[in-house]
Amino acid sequence: TRAREAALARAEARCERQARHDPLTGLANRAELRSRIAAALAAGAAAGRGTGLCLIDLEHFQELNETRGQEVGDALLCRTAALLRGRLPADHLPARVDGDSFAVLAPEQTGVEAVHGLARELGAALGRPVLLEGTAWASAASIGVAWAAPGEPSATRLIGEAEAALRDVKAHRRGGVGLYSPAIGKPFADRARIAAELRRAAAEGQFVAHFQPQLRLGDGGLLGFEALVRWDHPEKGVLEPCYFLEIAADAGLMEAIDSAMLERALDGLVRMRATGHAVPRVSLNLSAVALRDPGRVDRILWAVDRRDLVPADLAVELLETVRIVGDADPAVACIDRLARLGFGTELDDFGTGYACLANLSRLNVSALKIDRSLVRQMRAGGGEGESQGREIVRAIIALAGRLGVSVLAEGIERAEETALLRELGCGLGQGFAFGRPMPLPAVLDWLAARSPEAPRRASA
């Protein structure tokens, strides 16, 4: 009976362990994290120390899973767990909360800065490209940080605040680290209310275009402008897409936004030219839904014709092209038709999902836009990540060269990046270094300010 008792105890321990740990990575699971947070808050209150919590979300994980298979996805999860284990102080608890979200509990801390600093270190480490089964993956993580001062003993509140911080980071600066503050998330708590407001916004023409310049890196000449949607909200002012685009998509309003933007972008181009500026073209973002709509190309053609413009005046940036599956996907034919008509067809956010490489040979595209996360990686923190980022960019440019499509790098923020990208052979660029997205009147000023000495070298 003693042996049976021991076996029973072992089995019980194993069951208990399983109930508290994630089987894939061996990290604590959500239930265990929760109870450890409660314990840490109580211990902190007794010791006069605070408690920190970081929530970590891997970017583009779904894409990795879908395009490279679950085993590769699992490999990234295990690598993330190992990285957390390797970098945390002994009293910190790493956990896998679910899917691609992880957490780090930092107990008995003297201040929020230490937790924030740790989160930044983890973010940098998790943001380096990794080799997964021989192919590079541009890994990135968003991190939300919350802090409970000594004697604020609510686990629910701490978790809620870390979640709000993470949502905010994902909305504004994916791949970054954000600290909770009470201002976060307040203005837009209620998705249903926003969806209703968005419907009215569509009916009342509140969607407007801002324009961001795109330049030739070689001589600094103007390529054109990307039209980016803004919601000119009657009370809240001009809102960026991170506040509403996802909700608009869920509410079935993408069609309305795409149509409004087509008109706004072309009207904007006509205005710029009417003021005497040579603007080669504007570009427009098209959602995946739009690409499968059989009447779409005709409506675009009609809008262009109606203004006496030609297809070469408009480039279409194709979003979410990773989701394109197989040659039978109607999106493939839509892109092909646009390209044959003479419109620019550009793959947006290139380099964030490796299915893009497959898409490149299948789709009739004239350019690809290197995602700003890759440009950021190239600049980030020096060392191995930086040179790997550079190699990825170099490889993309070489590939594009072989296929005869041009390359535009987005998110260029500094003069050094311009120089480096030019050196790597990247022909086109866009980013805060040259100009932020601006409303039309500011664009006209921007054009007027540069016209006397144009064309000139692209410098920040």
Binding site for ligand C2E (CB under 6 A): 212, 228-229, 240-242, 245, 257-258, 261, 285, 287, 317, 319, 348-349, 372, 410-413, 431-432, 437
- Tokens encoding 104: 């780090």
Cα angle for residues 216, 219, 221 (degrees, 5° grid): 55
Q: Is 317 in the site for Ca ion (CB under 5 A)?
A: yes
CB of 260 to ligand C2E, least distance (A): 8
Q: Is 352 in the site for Ca ion (CB under 5 A)?
A: no
Sign of CA dihedral 435, 440, 442, 445: positive
Which residue's CB is nearer to Ca ion, number 102 or number 354? 354
3-state helix, strand, coil in the chain (%, to 5): 50, 20, 30
CA distance 170 to 228: 19
CA distance 29 to 52: 18
Strand partners, 135: 132
Which residue's CB is nearer to ligand C2E, number 32 or number 346? 346
Binder of Ca ion out of 129, 348, 424, 433 (CB under 5 A): 348
Strand partners, 430: 214
- Stretch touching Ca ion by CB under 5 A, among 160-168, 240-248, 267-275, 310-318: 310-318
| Residue 399 contact, options Ca ion, ligand C2E, none, Cβ 5-8 Å cut-off depending on partner type | none
Contacts of residue 402, defined as CB under 8 A and 6 or more positions apart, other chains included, come to: none
CB of 282 to ligand C2E, least distance (A): 11
Q: Is 214 in the site for Ca ion (CB under 5 A)?
A: no
Which residue's CB is nearer to ligand C2E, number 34 or number 264? 264
Q: Is 321 in the site for Ca ion (CB under 5 A)?
A: no
Nearest to 401 by CA among 378, 427, 422: 427
Residues 283-302 as x/- pattern, contact with Ca ion by CB under 5 A: --x-----------------
Binder of Ca ion out of 59, 100, 258, 349 (CB under 5 A): 349
Residues in the chain, how many? 460
* Run of H or E residues at 51: strand 50-58
Torsion of CA 335, 337, 339, 341, to 10 degrees: -150
| Residue 168 contact, options Ca ion, ligand C2E, none, Cβ 5-8 Å cut-off depending on partner type | none
Which residue's CB is nearer to ligand C2E, number 168 or number 348? 348
CB of 319 to Ca ion, least distance (A): 7
Which residue's CB is nearer to ligand C2E, number 33 or number 140? 140
- Stretch touching Ca ion by CB under 5 A, among 117-125, 206-214, 311-319, 322-330: 311-319
CB of 156 to ligand C2E, least distance (A): 32
- Stretch touching Ca ion by CB under 5 A, among 84-92, 109-117, 281-289, 401-409: 281-289
CA distance 397 to 402: 9
Which residue's CB is nearer to ligand C2E, number 96 or number 210? 210
Q: What is the DSSP string of 221-239?
A: -EEEEEEEEEEEETTTEEE
| Residue 241 contact, options Ca ion, ligand C2E, none, Cβ 5-8 Å cut-off depending on partner type | ligand C2E
Torsion of CA 34, 40, 41, 47, to 10 degrees: 180
**Strands 93-98 and 237-239, how do they pair?**
unpaired
CB of 370 to Ca ion, least distance (A): 9
| Residue 261 contact, options Ca ion, ligand C2E, none, Cβ 5-8 Å cut-off depending on partner type | ligand C2E
Q: Which residue is closest to ligand C2E by CB?
A: 431
Buried/exposed code over 206-224 (b: 16+ C-beta within 10 A; e: otherwise): bbbbbbbbbbbbeebebbb
Which residue's CB is nearer to ligand C2E, number 63 or number 349? 349
- Stretch touching Ca ion by CB under 5 A, among 136-144, 248-256, 313-321, 354-362: 313-321
CB of 18 to Ca ion, least distance (A): 42
Q: Is 163 in the site for Ca ion (CB under 5 A)?
A: no
Contacts of residue 17, defined as CB under 8 A and 6 or more positions apart, other chains included, come to: none
CB of 258 to ligand C2E, least distance (A): 6
CA distance 179 to 376: 21
| Residue 97 contact, options Ca ion, ligand C2E, none, Cβ 5-8 Å cut-off depending on partner type | none
Q: Is 80 in the site for Ca ion (CB under 5 A)?
A: no
Which residue's CB is nearer to ligand C2E, number 30 or number 432? 432
User: What are the φ/ψ torsions at residue 101 (nearest 5 degrees)?
Assistant: -110, 135
CA distance 35 to 358: 45
Nearest to 212 by CA among 223, 227, 200: 227
Which residue's CB is nearer to Ca ion, number 198 or number 370? 370
Residues contributing to the site for Ca ion (CB under 5 A): 285, 317, 348-349
